[in-house]
Amino acid sequence: MSPSWRIVWRQLTLLFLAAALLGGITGYLLLCLLLAALSSLGWQLWRLHRLDQWLDGDREAGPPPAGPVWDGIQAHIARLRRQNRKRKRKLSRLLEQFQQAIAALPDAAVLLTEDDKLLWCNDRSRPLLGLAAGRDHGLPITHLLRHPDFVAFLNQRRNGDSVEFSSPVEDGLLLSARIAPYGKKQRLLLATDISRVRRLEQMRREFVANVSHELRTPLTVIAGYLETLLDSDDPALTLWEQPLRRMQQQSGRMLHIIEDLLLLARLESQKERAPFKPVAVPALLADIAEDAIAISGDQGHQISMVADPGLWLLGCEKELRSAFANLANNAVRYTPAGGQIDLRWFADEQGLHLVVADNGEGIAPQHVPRLTERFYRVNRDRSRSSGGTGLGLSIVKHILNNHGGQLRIESELGAGSVFTCDFPPELRVASGCSEPESR
């Protein structure tokens, strides 16, 4: 037992002994004991009242002297209060630093409640999103930012994704927004100005398209003259036949690259998008299989085709033909003579799929993620000698993106490759239909 409790017990014992003695002398033992108990209770209540006053009163003042046990309790409370004050000061310093850091961000940062109401936003939110922390506090963010793409993105609640939309404040300002979960069911909206990046991308695209366009005419002229020279019966040219053929080959290759670059530029440009129409993929695939057999020629590849005859796709036929033909031609080019190539077209719950599988040379795993980059080739010489430009899979990826789809590549070195084009189920149309099935 602590010394202070010992003192209290001693005081109580003395009090009750004195009360019992007085009771014995006066003949009112019970009354005296009751008075002693009441006075002890009154004293403790009085201490409790003083403690309460002190807790309510000046926080900085020390506790008043209160006697054994109470002094200990008050000292303990005073220590807790001091620690609490220190912790609070530290937390508010941290909060201040955090708010200063968020305020200094070059991006807009907006804190949202669980039901997407604005809690707080930094200063950059005003020039980028037109939001002000004080004025807009508690308002639903969809009343403040009404761009349909942003509203759809917000309702999807897919953290980690991003959406691009134009700023409601300044024309020509393009924003990219992301949402991250924050604290207890809150969400942090971050919006970045990406106008400069997009402008640079646009300049790069236009530059490549312009250069390709400018080169096409002189190259076509050169190719034309080379053809004329090769067709000529002039004996003086016999000596030059070999170099002329090489020149014709190379100019043909350059024209092929230029055509592919122009096609990529067209695919990237949003302006020239042809409207989607129902495409008879089974018939398209039959054509492509025939072309692949022709390309294979003497190499005798086994080319099979399995297509759901009633399954059509809503899309751009020219682009789809180019994508599927690219995959089929690659399969022929990268599969040794006599190899097996399978084309499959089917649908499942996830969507529609076109598969081009071969048992050719396959691709080592480190190359697979980079195959759709422009001019990325596993073996440059091998690609060139078989007439490749290094742009084929990049074109396929763009075409699939334009259709809301994606390209999946699975491959094993020496065993073969499987290229799968996935399309969303809403692009499904019944055969012969002029309208989409599910729209």
Closer CB to ligand ADP, 63 or 405, in the complex = 405
Kindly state the tokens that stand for 305.
Answer: 């085709």
d(CA 46, CA 50): 6
Q: DSSP for 163-190?
A: EEEE-SSSTT-EEEEEEEEETTTEEEEE
Q: Please list every residue from 269 through 298 that binds ligand ADP, using CB under 6 A.
A: none
What are residue 418's DSSP bridge partners? 357, 410
Closer CB to ligand ADP, 272 or 381, in the complex = 381
Nearest Cα to Cα of residue 175 among 161, 188, 154, 194:
194
Least distance to ligand ADP, CB of residue 329, Å: 8
- Number of residues engaging ligand ADP in binding (CB under 6 A): 20
Closer CB to ligand ADP, 128 or 391, in the complex = 391
Closer CB to ligand ADP, 102 or 421, in the complex = 421
Least distance to ligand ADP, CB of residue 351, Å: 22
Closer CB to ligand ADP, 345 or 419, in the complex = 419
Dihedral pair phi/psi, residue 230, rounded to 5°:
-70, -30
Least distance to ligand ADP, CB of residue 288, Å: 14
Name residue 142's amino acid. Answer: T
Where do we find the tokens 């699975």? 410
Query: One symbol per residue from 347 to 376: x for binding ligand ADP (CB under 6 A), - otherwise; what is it?
Result: -----------x-xx-x-------x-----
420: enclosing H helix or E strand:
strand 416-423
Nearest Cα to Cα of residue 320 among 290, 286, 281:
281
Binding segment for ligand ADP (CB under 6 A), chosen from 128-136, 239-247, 282-290, 383-391, is 383-391
Kindly state the tokens that stand for 350.
Answer: 């996830």
Least distance to ligand ADP, CB of residue 126, Å: 46
Binding segment for ligand ADP (CB under 6 A), chosen from 41-49, 80-88, 387-395, 429-437, is 387-395
Name residue 272's amino acid. Answer: E
Closer CB to ligand ADP, 63 or 360, in the complex = 360
308 Cβ contact list (under 8 Å, min separation 6): 282, 345, 346, 347
Closer CB to ligand ADP, 125 or 296, in the complex = 296
- Of 23, 315, 392, 405, the one binding ligand ADP by CB under 6 A: 392
Least distance to ligand ADP, CB of residue 360, Å: 5
> How deeply is 343 buried, as exposed, middle or buried, from its count of CB atoms within 10 A (0-12, 13-18, 19+)?
buried
Residue 383 in contact with ligand ADP, rule: CB under 6 A: yes
Closer CB to ligand ADP, 189 or 371, in the complex = 371
Residue 390 in contact with ligand ADP, rule: CB under 6 A: yes
d(CA 314, CA 318): 12
Nearest Cα to Cα of residue 303 among 279, 326, 337:
337
Least distance to ligand ADP, CB of residue 322, Å: 12
Least distance to ligand ADP, CB of residue 400, Å: 13
Least distance to ligand ADP, CB of residue 295, Å: 13
Separation in Å, CA 23 to CA 35, 40, 84, 323 = 10, 17, 50, 111
- Of 74, 330, 359, 402, the one binding ligand ADP by CB under 6 A: 330
Check residue 375 and give left, alpha or beta (phi > 0: left; psi -120 to 50: alpha).
left
> How deeply is 186 buried, as exposed, middle or buried, from its count of CB atoms within 10 A (0-12, 13-18, 19+)?
middle
- Of 54, 334, 345, 423, the one binding ligand ADP by CB under 6 A: 334
Residue 417 in contact with ligand ADP, rule: CB under 6 A: yes
- Of 125, 192, 212, 389, the one binding ligand ADP by CB under 6 A: 389
Least distance to ligand ADP, CB of residue 401, Å: 15
Residue 252 in contact with ligand ADP, rule: CB under 6 A: no
Cβ atoms of 357 and 416 within 8 Å: the answer is yes
What is the gyration radius of the CA atoms in the chain, in angstroms? 41
Closer CB to ligand ADP, 214 or 373, in the complex = 373
Cβ atoms of 260 and 395 within 8 Å: the answer is yes
| Interface residues toward ligand ADP, by CB under 6 A | 330-331, 334, 358, 360-361, 363, 371, 377-379, 383, 388-394, 417
